[in-house]
Structure 1
Amino acid sequence: MTIEDVAGKAFSKERFDGLLADAVRGPAGVPGVVAMITDRDGNVYEGSAGERAAGFGDPMSTDSVFALFSTTKAITGTAVLQCVEEGLLDLDAPAATYVPEIGELKVLDGFGNQGEPILREPKREITTRMLMLHTAGFGYDFFNESYNRLSQEHGQPSVITCTKAALTTPLLFDPGEKWEYGTNMDWAGQVVESIRGQRLGDVMRERIFEPLEMTDTAFSMTPSMKDRLATIHQREADGTLTPLVGFELPAEPEVHMGGHGLHGTVGDYMKFIRMWLNDGAGSQGRVLSQETVAAATKNGLEGQHVGLLPGVIPTLSNDAEFFPGVPKGWAYSFMTNEEVAPTGRPAGSLAWAGLANLFYWIDRQSGVGGFWATQILPFADAGSVGGYLDFESAVYR
C-alpha cells in the first residue's frame, strides 16, 4: 500500500513542507525539525525546516544527526529478538542467568525517618520478557519521584552519564507487578552483550545496521556525524529556546545504553521502520523472521496498560500521555494503541518517542510509518508534539 492509498488523495510534498514550516514559526515554534514518511518500498516524503541550533544560522537538513534517546529502545529490542530466534535467549528465564548483577537488586520499600532507602528482596526474579515489556520494576528519575529522591539525596547517577552505576538502582516494585517506563532496555542491552560477547553497538552494526544499510547510526559518532549534529535546546518557562551547546551524551560511553544511547539520522531510522513494515526483511538481508515480527508486534501486557508519564523534573519532561482515553499496551519493544488513534493511526500500530521530542509510528496494517525529530527539552513540548500530531494526521486525512 502506498501513501496515496492511506491518504486517499494525491501525495503533496508542498503540503507536508508547509507543516514543517508552520512548526518552526511563532512563539511555540521549534528551532528545527526533520520529518520523513515511508511506505514499504521507500521514503515518500523527506523534509526539514529551521536551524540545527537556534540563532547560529546552520540550516537543519535531512542528513542532520540527532541524539535518538528512547527511539533507541526498539533497535535494542530487535537485537534481543535475534538472540531468541537463534535459541540463545529464553525470555522467561531469569535475566540474572545472563547478567548476574541484575539478580542482586533489591526492591525499594520507601524511605526511613532519616531519609535512608528501605530495601527488601524481590518476590520473584526479573526475566528478559519483563525487561522488554517494562514490567521489571525499573523507572527513570524524571518520571518517578522515588528515583528522583535517590538522585537528589543519595547521589544516584543520571542515566545520561551512560555508566553502569546509573543502572544499578533498586526496583520500584516486585518484578512483573505493573508497567513502569524505565531503564529496562538498558539492562536488555546488557543481556545481549553477555550472550554475544560483544559491545551492543558492534552487535547492532553487524546484525541490524549493515543489513539495513544504516551507515549514520552509532553509540559513538564519527567525525562526519559530529559535524551534522543538531543541538539540544531548553524550552524556558516563557517559551523561549536556549541552545544547550555542549550538552551531549558521552562521546565514548562506558555503557552502550540500549534504552537511549544512539545517535543517528532520520533517514537511517526510516530503514529500520521499513524493516518492520516488511515483516523483518531489509535491503541487504533479513533482520528478523516473519514469525518473530508477528509475535513481537502484539501487545504483551496482560491486565496492565500504558498510562501517564508524570513529569517529575520539569526541565526534562512535562506530564506526558499519548492519546489520553485511548487504551495503550506494550509490545517488544513499542507502545501499541489498542483503538484507532485521533490521528487516524489504526489500532494495533506501533510507536514511541525520545526525550528530546522525537516521535515515530509504524502502521503495519496500512504499510506506512513516519518519524518526526526535534531536539528540545523538556519532553512533551507543546510546539513539537503539536507539529508531530498534525504531521501524522495529514497522512491519514
Structure 2
Amino acid sequence: MKINSDSIDEVLRTAVKERIPAVSAAVVAHDKNIYEGHFGYSDLSKNSLVDEKSLFRIASMTKAITSACIFQLIDKNLLNLDTQLKEYFPEIADRKVIEGFDENGEAILKDVTNDITIGHLITHTSGFAYEIWNANIAKLVEKGDLVSAFSTSDEFLKAPLIFEPGTSWEYGIGIDWLGVLIEKISECSLQDYMKKNIFEPLEMDDTSYDLSEEEHHRVVNVYGRNGSDYQEMPFSIPKQSAFTLVEETLSRVWIITPNS
C-alpha cells in the first residue's frame, strides 16, 4: 500500500501551526507501519521538539490494553464474559443505583437487581460512569462523598451505578474494575501483568506506568487553550493509565489485538 507521506506531513504541520501544540501520528496497514510523523513541541517553554522518542500519556487508550489482558484470561478459561464480578469482589453485590438527591442534598439510592458481569464491564453497560459526563456522580465528587476518577486512588471504584447493569450504555470506569480483577486473578499488579504478558512479548520497551527520571524528560506536556495562547495544564495520571510511544501503541498493540 502506497501513501503520500508529504501530504500527511503537510496536514500535521498545518494542525500544529493553527490549533494544536504537538502531534505524533502513525499509519498502519497490513500489519506494517507505513508512515510515522512527529511535529510541534513537547515543551513550549523550552522549545523542545516532539520526536520519535517522545512519550505520550495515553489515558483511556490504556483501556484497550487492559481489555486485551482480560481476553488473555478468558482464553486461559479463567473467566468468561458471563462471569459475575461479585465472584471476586462480593462487596459489589451491595452496590446501588443513584437516582438523584433529596432536598437535604443526600443521594437517593435504590437496590440493584442485575449482577454486573465481565461482559457488562468491557462493553460499558455495567452502570459505572465518569463524573465529567454524569451530573449525579459529579455532585458526589463535588460534595467530597466520592474521590475523583482522575485521582491516583482506587477509592473512585466505590462509586454508585447510574443505571441497572445491562440496561443502558455509559462510557465509564468499568475497565478500571477489570484492572483490579486482573490483579486479583494474576496475584500481581496490573503494571507487572502487562509488562510480562503484553509489553515484553511485543518488545514495547518504551511503554510503562512507572517512568525513570530520564523518561520523565521525554513526556509531552498537556496544554489547554487560553484565548489564542496555550497554557500548560496540571494533569494527574490515574493509576491505571500508561505512557507510550505512538509507534509502539499503533503498530504493536493494535495489530496483535484482533488476532489475540
Q: Is the 8 A contact 1:54 1:242 kept in 2?
A: no
After superposition, residues 225-244 of structure 1 pair within 5 angstroms as 225-236=215-226, 238-244=227-233
From 28, 33, 54, give the equivalent of 1:43. Answer: 33
Task: Tell me which residue corresponds to 1:188.
Answer: 178
Task: Tell me which residue corresponds to 1:156.
Answer: 146
Task: Tell me which residue corresponds to 1:269.
Answer: 249
Task: Tell me which residue corresponds to 2:169.
Answer: 179
Q: d(CA) in 2 for partners of 1:228 and 1:184?
A: 30
Q: Is the 8 A contact 1:137 1:174 kept in 2?
A: yes
Q: Is the 8 A contact 2:99 2:109 kept in 1?
A: yes
Q: d(CA) in 2 for partners of 1:248 and 1:179?
A: 27
1:91 aligns with 2:81: yes
Q: Is the 8 A contact 2:26 2:35 kept in 1?
A: yes
Q: d(CA) in 1 for partners of 2:84 and 2:156?
A: 21
- The SS at the match of 2:46 is coil
Task: Tell me which residue corresponds to 2:197.
Answer: 207
Task: Tell me which residue corresponds to 1:113.
Answer: 103
1:223: how far off? 2.8
Q: Is the 8 A contact 2:63 2:175 kept in 1?
A: yes
Unpaired runs of 5+ in structure 2?
none
Unpaired runs of 5+ in structure 1?
5-10, 251-255, 281-287, 289-397
Query: CA 1:41–1:171 in structure 2 vs 1: closer, same or farther (change >3 Å)?
Result: closer
| Amino acid across the alignment from 2:231 | T
Task: Tell me which residue corresponds to 1:58.
Answer: 48
1:161: how far off? 1.1
Q: Is the 8 A contact 1:63 1:266 kept in 2?
A: no
1:48: how far off? 0.8
Task: Tell me which residue corresponds to 1:13.
Answer: 5
Q: Is the 8 A contact 2:152 2:236 kept in 1?
A: no
1:188: how far off? 0.9
1:198 aligns with 2:188: yes
Moved more, 169-178 or 211-220: 211-220
After superposition, residues 234-313 of structure 1 pair within 5 angstroms as 234-236=224-226, 238-244=227-233, 247-249=235-237, 256-257=239-240, 261-270=241-250, 271-276=252-257, 279-280=258-259, 288=260
Q: What are the superposed Cα offsets for residues 315-351 of structure 1, whole Å, 9 maximum, x if unpaired?
A: xxxxxxxxxxxxxxxxxxxxxxxxxxxxxxxxxxxxx
Q: What are the superposed Cα offsets for residues 99-157 of structure 1, whole Å, 9 maximum, x if unpaired?
A: 33433321112111111001122111100110000000011111111111111123421
| Amino acid across the alignment from 1:265 | L
Moved more, 124-133 or 206-215: 206-215
Q: d(CA) in 1 for partners of 2:210 and 2:162?
A: 31
Task: Tell me which residue corresponds to 1:222.
Answer: 212
Q: d(CA) in 2 for partners of 1:110 and 1:41?
A: 48
1:239: how far off? 4.2
1:98: how far off? 1.8
- The SS at the match of 1:77 is helix
Task: Tell me which residue corresponds to 1:165.
Answer: 155
| Amino acid across the alignment from 2:16 | V
Q: d(CA) in 2 for partners of 1:239 and 1:195?
A: 49
TM-score computed with the length of structure 1 as normaliser: 0.63
- The SS at the match of 2:42 is coil
Q: d(CA) in 1 for partners of 2:128 and 2:179?
A: 14
CA-atom RMSD in angstroms: 1.5
1:262: how far off? 1.1
Q: Is the 8 A contact 1:96 1:102 kept in 2?
A: yes
- The SS at the match of 2:183 is helix
| Amino acid across the alignment from 2:254 | I
Q: Is the 8 A contact 1:32 1:53 kept in 2?
A: no
Query: CA 1:65–1:214 in structure 2 vs 1: closer, same or farther (change >3 Å)?
Result: same
Runs of 4+ in 1 over 4 A off after TM superposition: none
Q: d(CA) in 1 for partners of 2:28 and 2:61?
A: 17
Q: What are the superposed Cα offsets for residues 283-303 of structure 1, whole Å, 9 maximum, x if unpaired?
A: xxxxx2xxxxxxxxxxxxxxx
Q: Is the 8 A contact 2:151 2:236 kept in 1?
A: no
Give the length in aligned residue pairs.
259
